[in-house]
Amino acid sequence: MLGEVMADQQGDRVKDLATVGGVRANQLTGYGLVVGLDGTGDQTSQTPFTVQSVKNMLSTYGIEVPANVNPQLRNVAAVSLTAELPPFAKPGQEIDVTVSSLGNATSLRGGTLVMAPLLGADGQVYGMAQGNVVVSGFGIDGQDGSRVTVNVPSAGRVPNGATVEREVPNNFQEQEFITLHLNDSDFTTAHRLTETINDNFGANTALPLDATSVRVEAPNDPTQRIAFVSVLENLRVEPGEGPARVIVNSRTGTVVIGSNVRVGPAAVSHGALTVRIRERPFVVQPSPFAPGETIVVPRTEIEVEEPEDASMFLFDPGVGLDQIVEAVNEVGAAPGDLVAILEALDRAGALRAQLVVI
């Protein structure tokens, strides 16, 4: 019966809208050495910590390097290690590791990460990393100093390169309630989520705490709790519509207009002023057999064009997204012009949305 109700519902799954409180990943960091590079490692004269790390590693194997000797190793790079420990990860499981150069190594391609510990925020070791580094980028140097680089060759990954050594304590089974945290805070979505849970599991099963969190009563038996959460996260809820926003990326010129954006009555004039500046130097030279020297005289030409048919369009009250886009396209506004128009509408108080510039 419950499965039939779930199949008939429309909307997004709870697992896509919210996360379970206490079920989270943990970040791990570490420091290590990548060896076996083809002359693309750190310049040890500029990265003394790489030399120190190599000496420390060799000393663990009974090899002592004299204090006054600094090996010039171009096949070693000091790297920073980062990984994410998934929730409920158990010892023996494997996770991916990201390797990033700390010194001036030009490429980690072909290198091998030597065994290094991964630490949590509490300073405890939660994993051990080791393996071959996979690098998608590469760089080529020319003898004249030129260089061609594709992607970032000084960073890479070690797939399944770390073994979990310690389990992170989790109180998921000991909690009296299960708390669902919405990915996007919204009172409407929290209310609808509460109603959906109560309709499927009984009244007062769920209680909204705020615009982000909903508390749900769950069975205490571990087996039943897992089955309960499995059904809970597959319920479908129609999320509330987000606030009216216009997002403008000032670096790329990307503009995203929400479906709830409205424009008040306003008139917009769009005109393009084109300025062309050309440098056309000419050569002046003396007549044959005459004294003097040949010189180059700079000459600049400036041309200004303004279209005669500067366009203007009128927004009626309550104009929506479709009309905004259509009106702007009719006058041939470029993305940069669209940003200027939206900012002007916002300043005029005609834009019924929040203008966010990133």
Q: At what angle do helices 222-232 and 187-201 cross, to 10 degrees?
A: 120
Instruction: Write out the DSSP string of 269-300.
Output: EE---EEEEEE--EEE-PPTT-S---EEE--E
What is the rounded distance in angstroms from the CA atom of residue 131 to the CA atom of residue 101?
Answer: 16
Residue 208: what pLDDT?
Answer: 92
What is the rounded distance in angstroms from the CA atom of residue 146 to the CA atom of residue 35?
Answer: 26
Calculate mean pLDDT across residues 140-144: 54
Residue 287: what pLDDT?
Answer: 73
- Name which of 37, 159, 41 is nearest 101 in CA terms: 41
Residue 7: what pLDDT?
Answer: 41
pLDDT per position as a tens digit, 18-62: 988 888 899 999 999 999 988 888 887 778 888 888 888 888 888
Q: Compare 303 and 114 and report the one with higher pLDDT.
A: 114
Helix (H, G, I), strand (E, B) or coil at 69: coil
Contact 180, 204 (CB under 8 A): no
Kindly provide the b/e burial profile for residues 181-191, where b requires at least 16 CB atoms within 10 angstroms of the residue's own CB.
bbeeebeebbe
Helix (H, G, I), strand (E, B) or coil at 250: coil
- Name which of 180, 188, 299, 195 is nearest 233 in CA terms: 180
Least confident of 90-94, 147-151, 237-241, 345-349: 147-151
Place 5 in a pLDDT band, splitting at 50, 70 and 90: very low
Domains plus CATH for the chain? Answer: 2-23+171-237 (3.30.1360), 26-164 (no CATH), 245-357 (no CATH)
Q: Pick from 108-112, 125-129, 267-271, 308-312 the range whose average pLDDT is largest.
A: 125-129
Instruction: Describe the strand order of the beta sheet including 354-357 as a list of residue ranges.
Output: 255-257, 245-248, 354-357
Calculate mean pLDDT across residues 254-264: 74
Residue 308: what pLDDT?
Answer: 56
What is the rounded distance in angstroms from the CA atom of residue 348 to the CA atom of residue 266?
Answer: 8
Tell the residue number behind the tokens 């769009």, with chain if given: 270
Place 4 in a pLDDT band, splitting at 50, 70 and 90: very low
Assess whether pLDDT exceeds 50 at residue 2: no
The mean pLDDT value of the chain amounts to: 79
Residue 3: what pLDDT?
Answer: 44
Place 261 in a pLDDT band, splitting at 50, 70 and 90: confident
Least confident of 109-113, 118-122, 125-129, 144-148: 144-148
Q: Compare 2 and 124 and report the one with higher pLDDT.
A: 124
Give the percent of the chain with pLDDT over 90: 26
